[in-house]
Structure formats: C-alpha cells, structure tokens
Amino acid sequence: MSLLGHVASTRGAALYVVKIGSASLKHDNVFDELAAIYQRGARVLLVAGGAAGIAEHYAEIGRTMRTLQLRGGDEIRYCPPEEMPYIVSAYERVTLPRVRRALAARGLSSYTAVAAEGELVCGTANPPLRAVRDGRTLLVRDHRAGLVSDVDTSRLHALLDAFDVVCVSPPVACAAGGSALNVDADVLAAELANALDADHLRLVTGTPGLLADPADVTSRQAHLLAGEGARYARGRMRHKVRAAEIALTGAADVAITGPHVLAPASGTRFWRAAPPAPDVQLLSRSVEISSVSGDERELADYLVDWCTEYGIDAEIDLAGNLVATRGDGPQRLLMLGHLDTVPHRWPARWDGDTLSGRGCVDAKGSLVTFLETLAELEVPPWAQVRVVGAVEEEMTAAGAFFARDNYPADAVIIGEPSGAGALTISYNGLLKVRLSVRTPVGHTAGNGVSTAADQLVDVVHRLRAEIAAASQDAMPAVLGMDARNGGDEQIGEAVLDVRVPHSTDVHELAAVVTRAAAPARVEVLRATPGHATARTSPLVRAFSRAFREAGVTPRFLAKKGSSDMNTLATTWREVPMIAYGPGDAGLDHTPDEHLPAAEFRTARTVLAAAVAQWAAQVAPASAA
C-alpha cells in the first residue's frame, strides 16, 4: 500500500459528521446513504439522537419520564444525577445497538459509544435552571445538562481510521467530575465538526429543512446566510439552527436535511459568505462547498440541481464528473473544468468585491463561467456545447481521462486560470512517478549502512542530474518523501513530479527515469505530453475577437505547468484546445487565493462572446 498516494498531504479522507434524530434512525434509507458516503471514500462520524430510544427504554423498564416546564412554556426532560444512569442505559441498550445492527447489515464495521465514555467528549454544566411548577418559579440546581468544552480529537481520529463508521451519542463527561451531562445532539454534532475540522455537517430531521411555517412544507427556506435562521426556527428546530450557527464558525459546509434523508437538496443550506451581488452567487456557493480531490460529490450534486433549475440537461457520470449539455448538433465544443481542489482549511469570505477561498481561482471560477455561459447560450441546431466538471484533476486526472474516452469534441476550452485578459495556448507535459525502495534493517552505527531514506535521497539526486542531461528545460520537483521501519526491512517512498517541455518525449523521459532510479522501483503515475494550439486556430481567433469586443488587449500564454489539456492530448489529435478562466494562476494552491468580482465578470463576458463566435464560425453554408 502506498505511503504517499499521488500527492503528499497530511490531510486524510473527507470527513462527514452526520447527526440523525431518533425518529430518522428508524428509516433504513439513512443507513443506505451513510454506506454510500463511506463507499465514496469518506470517513463518517454519526451522532445519534435518543429521544425515541429513551422513551422506548423507559416504557420497557416501567419508569416515568421526569420533565421540567420552563418559563417560556417549553417542556424539557429533567436530568438530575440519579436519572443519568437510565439515560445512558437507554442509549446503550436501545439506540446504539440499533445503529450497530443497521450498519452491520450493510457490511460496515462500527464503533458506538456514549460520548461520556472514556471522556471522549467533556462538557461544563449549565447554570441553575429557572422552571415553573404549580404556577411558581423555582431554581433547579441539579439538572445535569451542559455545553461541550473539550473533544478528544486524537482518539476520535484513531477510531475513524480503525472503523468504517464511528457513532457517538449524548451524554458527555463532566469536566468538573460527577455524573454525566446531557447535551443537545445537534449541538454535539456541530462541536465535533469544528473540533475535527470536518468537511461536511448534516443535521437530519423529519421535515424538509427549516420551514417558515411549520405547518406548510412549501415554506422551506432552501438557502440561509449566517444569522438568518433564528427568525424561522420553532421548537426543536431552534437547536438545529443553533448548531448550524456554531458550525459556521468552522470550515464544514452545513445543511439541515430531511425528511429523513442526508442529501441537502430538499433541506436548508447555510452559507457563511454573503455575495456582494446576485451575479456572483453561484461562484460564492461553489467555493463554499468543500470539494478536495476525492470528495467532489457534494459540489457535483449542487451544480446538477442548479443546471436543472436553469433548464440544462445535467447528470453525474460513472467517473463522478458533472456533465451538462445543450444541443445535439454535429459540431461539438467541450468546456472541461474541474470540481476538485487541493486540501484547504479556511472558510470562504468576501472582502468587499473580492472572494477568498480555496478553489475560487483553481478552478471553480472557470467552471462557474462555463456553466453560466451554457445557461445563457442560444445553441444553434448545428452545434452541441458540453460542460464537464471533472474529478481528481489535482491528483489522477481520472475525470479527464473518462471525458477523453467518452465525450469527443471538435474544439476544447479548458477551465484553468489564465486571467480574464489572457489565453493559454500551450502547456508543458507532465511526468509523475512513485519511487519505492526496500532495504534490510541495519544498525546505523555499522560501517556502510544505507537506510531507505539515504537511498531515496541518492536516487532523487541522481535523477535530477539524469533528467537535466536528457532535457535541459525539464523541471523536476519532489512532491513528498516518506521512509520508515517496517520490522525486518525499511520502506521508503517518494513522489517525483517533472514538467516536461514540448521538445522532449514524455515516454522517453519516463524510460530514462526508470533506468536511472535503480535500485528504486519506479511506478509511472502520469505521463501526459505537452500540447500547443496555433494562434491561427479558429478557436483562438474566436477568443481574439471576443477580447476586442470587450475592449481587452489579450496576452497569449505558453505555460510550463500542465492541465487536463495534456490528458486529452494523450489520444486526441488535431483538436484545437486552449485554456481560459478568471484569476491569477500564481495564487493556485496558496492560502492567498482570491478572485475579484470584476475579474470574474470580465471572463464571463469574454467567454460568452467567444463561444458565440465559435458557433458562428462552424455554421454550415446553408445556415448563412
């Protein structure tokens, strides 16, 4: 098994924190959805609600549920110290076994426990509670309820690595000692999402999200900004809104979903960043939805729904790509962007008219311009325009390879940042290899001992010299290196990335690397050639005219990096391909990634004009 994968990153697989209320736990489909999330490669932390399980347990043992009436009229479960063992028992005997059985039936291993166990989660007790009894207000000091104060993140991460699904439930341990503390399960989920730096938080309920009128399911609030939910929340929904607001201080994308489903489409999404104008709303929301390589499905689903709303035929293909198409004519234009980003951990935000956040430049800005252009485009009968949002561009190019083999085209626009006033007409090739060594363990005090790490350093040093000799302009970089003791042998691995100029055959360079790397074993992960499109190409001319119409003096770029253009070029011949999109490519993969709204708008204007120009150029003579 590879130590590094295709890229060296400390960030693990995407993490979903999913709170499922006790009523929803009785619906088998929620466990089917959890299994599907796990099968996509994500980690799953389930927080189980317990109201129905507690009622069931109390009925079984013949115990009366004790309640308190608050001054505002709400009634809550009364949890003095003597009651807490029964609350814990309800989770351990009813709710958590139900979860275990449902997950096991789907072939999933699970760890289930109340959060108080082993101080997995600790809390601090609430101050005394004012309640009403027989018309009189009294101060209740022994009600064991509180707020989360500490999460054992190291242990939870270890459990998530060891089990397919980890499930926890209230109550939590009291940091000051004494009996456990009851906490709201939705709030517990939000605190866990923040503490564990989750990618997605789903609060599953029995209604279609947050309703302005609880009696009217058509009053669903599909989208809310931070601070807007409280005006619509009633009863138990107030806790969910409170949990959503807590989670918005972290980095996960947040949704209250239902009825009894995990997908946000029929629920309420909560957004942090308030866009300065409606025309940048799709851009803003696309950047807010985390879509690190391998975790693109949430963004793909959201964009399919957006396309459907705008009358565009859209689907998710077998590779996981978003595919949106208009027209069925013989002249085919493919606009190939990508859904994924490199790992990130900061929430999107607007500073005036500038959006900051991972992916705004690389390359959600480009993909959104593609989709909005497609939505507004009048596709003539002789043309077809298809937008593909590919998966794993930053890693394996799996989505682009699938597009290469399934979506033939006569012209291609790649969605990568060129700047609104520039057009990329050339990319270098890419060679990415994994180097691995194994060597017997020896004491480092011995004469001539060479560790796995020593050998890797020597191999990389030798490869740099051999690559330079074979191709003076090639640019090698070590993406990551790992070496460790495996018992009887040491195991070392490195991932080497080489940007290959057009003058060098990428496969010949791969052969050079394979020969020179001995004794290291070489696995070729990517070998894609460079590609260039002539400035006289009709596609380039279409953009040139669009630039002029927008009052822009364009620049034409030959980039030393690579893109999905190279992936298509592995088998596509004589197909004109360029790359265009808003943003400064120098910000790619940096914590300074940001995109001004004006830059985005200019790119959208130029792209729309260029696509219209291309469609006019390929018109049959009979259409003149």
Given 340, 493, 564, 593, the catalytic residue: 340
Contact 416, 579 (CB under 8 A): yes
Q: In 3-state terms, what secondary structure has residue 309? A: helix
Please report the beta strands in 97-210, taking only residues with DSSP state E, as ranges in sequence order. Answer: 110-114, 121-125, 129-133, 136-140, 146-151, 165-169, 173-174, 200-204
Point out the catalytic residue in the list 186, 191, 362, 393.
393
In the DSSP assignment, the letter for residue 351 is: E
CB 238 within 8 A of CB 55: no
E-strand stretches of 339-488? 349-351, 354-356, 383-390, 411-414, 422-427, 429-440, 475-485
Beta bridge partners of 62: none
Q: How many CB atoms lie within 10 A of CB 105?
A: 11
Specify burial of residue 375 (Cβ count, 10 A radius: 0-12, 13-18, 19+).
Answer: middle
Between CA 230 and CA 247 the distance in angstroms is 15
Pairing of strands 354-356, 594-596: antiparallel
> Residue 182 in 3-state DSSP?
strand
Measured CA distances, 342 to 255, 318, 445 (Å): 23, 22, 41
SS (H, E, C) 41-80: CCEEEEEECCHHHHHHHHHHHCCCCCEEEECCCCEEECCC
Annotation marks residue 393 as catalytic: yes
Give yes or no: 340 in active site: yes
Instruction: Using alpha carbons, select from 376, 384, 334, 363 the residue that is nearest to residue 539.
Output: 334
Give the CA-trace dihedral at 288, 291, 297, 298, to 10 degrees: -20
Residues annotated as part of the active site: 340, 393
